[in-house]
Structure 1
C-alpha cells in the first residue's frame, strides 16, 4: 500500500508548514520519534516568530491574558524555524513569499483556518485580528458598545471575556442561534451566564454593516429581521474558511478548500504530504485544538512507522466534549459521544472554569513536549 522506505545516508528533509497546535506537535513528535531511526532535518515554516494559543485569543482581545509564546521555546532541540509564508507547494519543494525555495522529502501541511470578515469588522480568530481588536478595545471609554458577531463558542468566549474584563462597556453578541453546538440544557446555561455578565443576546443574521455613519462615527449594523443598531467596535468571531495554499498548489481539496486525505492523513494527490488540523478534510472532524493535536501527532507517528519499514495505521480519534469559558470565573463543559454528538450531561460554574483553564494548559504542555494521548474513535 505504502511501500517500504529505505534508510538514506543523506539527511531526510521534512518541512512543517504552520506552527499552530497541529504543526508544532507534529514537529516535536517528529524530532522525538523520527530522528531516532533516521537522520532528518526538520524545519518549521511560520509567518510569525510565536506559537499562538488560539484557545486564548479571546483573553488577548480583552487584555485578561496572553496568547503568544516564542516559538523557539515551544520546539524541541534539533527543530529549526524559518520565518515566512509558503506561496506554493510544488513537486518536492516549496516556494516562499520572498522567492526562496526549500526542498522536502516529506511535508506536513498545517496552515489551520482563517476568517472572511464582513467589511468594517475586526476578526478575532487570527493573531493579527486579535491584536487589532485589543488595541481598538483599549481606546473605548465607558458606556460605549462592542458588538461580537458570531454565536458559536468563539463568539461566546469573546463577548464573555470582554464583559468580564471591561464591565464599563456595553457588550452585545449577534448570531443565528447561541451555542448551537451544545445540548439544550447547556445552551440555556450559557444564556444565563451571558445574562449575569450583562451581555445582550441578539439571535438574528447580520445583513450588512455601514461603517462610521452613526452618531460619533459608530458603525450601523443592519439585521435581517430587526431594526439596525449602532456599534462603536464590531468584532467578527466566525471561523469559516481555510487558506487556499492547497488548492493553489494543485492538491485535491473538498468544497471548503480543505486538503483531501487518505486514511493515514496523507494527501490523495501527493502521499509525501500530510495534511493535519483545520486545513485537512478528515470526515467527522471539527475545527478545534482537540482535533488538531491528535492529527499532528498521528501523522508524525505514521512517518516514523514508515521509516521503520512498518505499515501505517489508519487515523482514529474520538471526542469527549466541548469546553468554553464565560469570563474568568465561570465556564461550561459539555459532554459528548465519541462521534461528537452531544449528551445531555454538562457541568458549569467556577469548577468548569478551572477545568477549562487546565485543558488549555495541558494543550500547550502536550504540544511542546509531544507527550500526548487521545481517545480512539468508535468502531
Structure 2
C-alpha cells in the first residue's frame, strides 16, 4: 500500500502521522521545502518575535518518507513532481493549502518566502517609518498588531473593507480597540493601487508608506485544476461526504484546497478535515464503512500583540455567538490553541 501526502503543513503532517499509526503502508510526504511552517505564526515571523519554521522530519513519525519537491500533477495513480520524477500511489491526500496573490508594490506575508522578505524589510526600517498592512481579516489584524507592539517606533496602519469584518458586535469593537491600544491606525477602505510609496484607496484618498504588507489570502494552488480533478469556481477540489475527490476516489482533499461547503480558510478547518480523512481512509483500507464529515467550529480568535487577543465563540456551523473573551485570558487561550495545533499534527490527533 502506497500513500502520498502532497503538502507538509498542519493538515498534511497530521494526516500522514495518523495514517502511519493506523495502517501498514509506505507513506511519503511531498513538500516544496524541507521545513514545517507554522503558518499561524507568520505574523510573528514578520515582526521578529518568533521563528515560524522547523525541520519537517522532526514533525513526522519514524518510517514516513519525505520528498522536497513541488507536485506538478496528480492523477492515474501517480504524482508528477516539478523535477519530472514520479511517485506512484494507491491513495493520495492533497493538502496544499492556499495561495497569496499580492498587489504590485506590496510584500505578501501569507507565505514563508514572503514573510522572510517582510521580516528583512521591516528590520531595515528606521524609526518614524510608515508600515501599511493591507487586509482587514485575521492575518492583517494579527500582523498589524504584532508589528506595532514589536516596533513602537514605527507608524503602523491597517487598511481593510472593513477591518475585523469576520467578528461581530462586541467582539469587533474589542478587536478595533485592541488595535488602537497598540498604536495601529485603522482605515476602513480598499487599496486599489500601490505605486512606489504611494497607496491609493477606493475612496479617492491615499497616503504614503515606506513598506506595504499584503495580508490577504485569496486562492488555492492550481494543482487540482491542472490535474483534471473536478473543482469549484474557486479552484478547490470538489469532495464527497468522506472528503474524497468526486472525480477520483483514490484522492482525498483536506484543508484550504478542499471545497467543503460551509468552511473557511483556517487551521481549525485543516486539522479537523485531516484527522477525519485519515480515519476515513484507514476505515476503507480495513474494509469498514467510514463516517461522513461534518463541519465543526468553536471560535474565531486573533492576537493583538503578545499580551492580548480577542476570541469570539461560534456555533458549530461557524455562525458567531454573542460571547467573547479578550485581553490576557484570550491571549493565553490562543497561544495554547496554536501550540496544540502543532502538537496535534505531530501526534496525529484530529477528528
Q: 1: CA distance between counterparts of 2:293 and 2:95?
A: 16
Take 1:165 and 1:226, find their aligned partners in 2: how far apart are those partners? Answer: 31
What is the CA-CA distance between 1:372 and the residue it aligns to?
3.2
Q: Which structure is larger by alpha-carbon Rg, 1 or 2?
A: 1
Match of 1:276 in 2: 254
Equivalent residue for 2:64, pick from 71, 79, 89:
79
Conserved? CA contact 2:18–2:348, under 8 Å: yes
User: Structure 1 length as normaliser, TM-score?
Assistant: 0.91
SS at match of 2:65: strand
Counterparts of 1:356 and 1:309 in 2: how far apart (Å)?
39
Q: How does 1:154-303 map to 2 (within 5 A)?
A: 154-211=139-196, 219-303=197-281
User: Structure 2 residue aligned with 1:331, among 302, 306, 309?
Assistant: 309
Residues 1:134 and 2:119 aligned together: yes
Give the ranges of 4+ consecutive aligned residues of structure 1 lying more than 6 Å apart after TM superposition. none
Superposition deviation, residue 312 in structure 1: 1.4
Question: Aligned runs of 1:35-50 on 2, under 5 Å?
Answer: 35=24, 40-50=25-35
Contact kept? 1:34, 1:303, Cα under 8 Å: no
Gapped runs of 5+ residues in structure 1? 1-11, 212-218, 374-379
The reply to whether residue 23 of structure 1 matches residue 12 of structure 2 is yes
- The secondary structure found in structure 1 opposite 2:296 is coil
- CA apart distance, 1:351: 1.1
1:14 to 2:42 alignment: no
1:320-358 CA distance string (max 9 Å, x none): 111110000111111111110001110000111111101
**How many residues are aligned here?**
351
Query: 1:90 deviation in Å?
Result: 2.5
Looking at structure 2, the residues matched to 34 and 145 of structure 1 have their Cα atoms a distance apart, in angstroms, of 53
- For the residues of structure 2 that align with 1:106 and 1:267, how far apart are their CA atoms? 11
RMSD: 0.8
Q: CA deviation at 1:226?
A: 4.0
String of CA shifts for 1:193-222, please: whole Å, max 9, x gaps. 1111110101011111112xxxxxxx1000
> Residues of 1 paired with 2:149 and 2:350: CA distance?
32
State how far apart, in whole Å, the 2-side matches of 1:107 and 1:68 are. Answer: 25
After TM superposition, the score normalised by the length of structure 2 is: 0.99
Give the Cα separation in 2 of the matches to 1:266 and 1:345: 35
Q: Deviations over 1:146-171 (max 9, x none)?
A: 00000001100000000011110000
- Following superposition, the deviation at residue 89 of structure 1 comes to 1.3
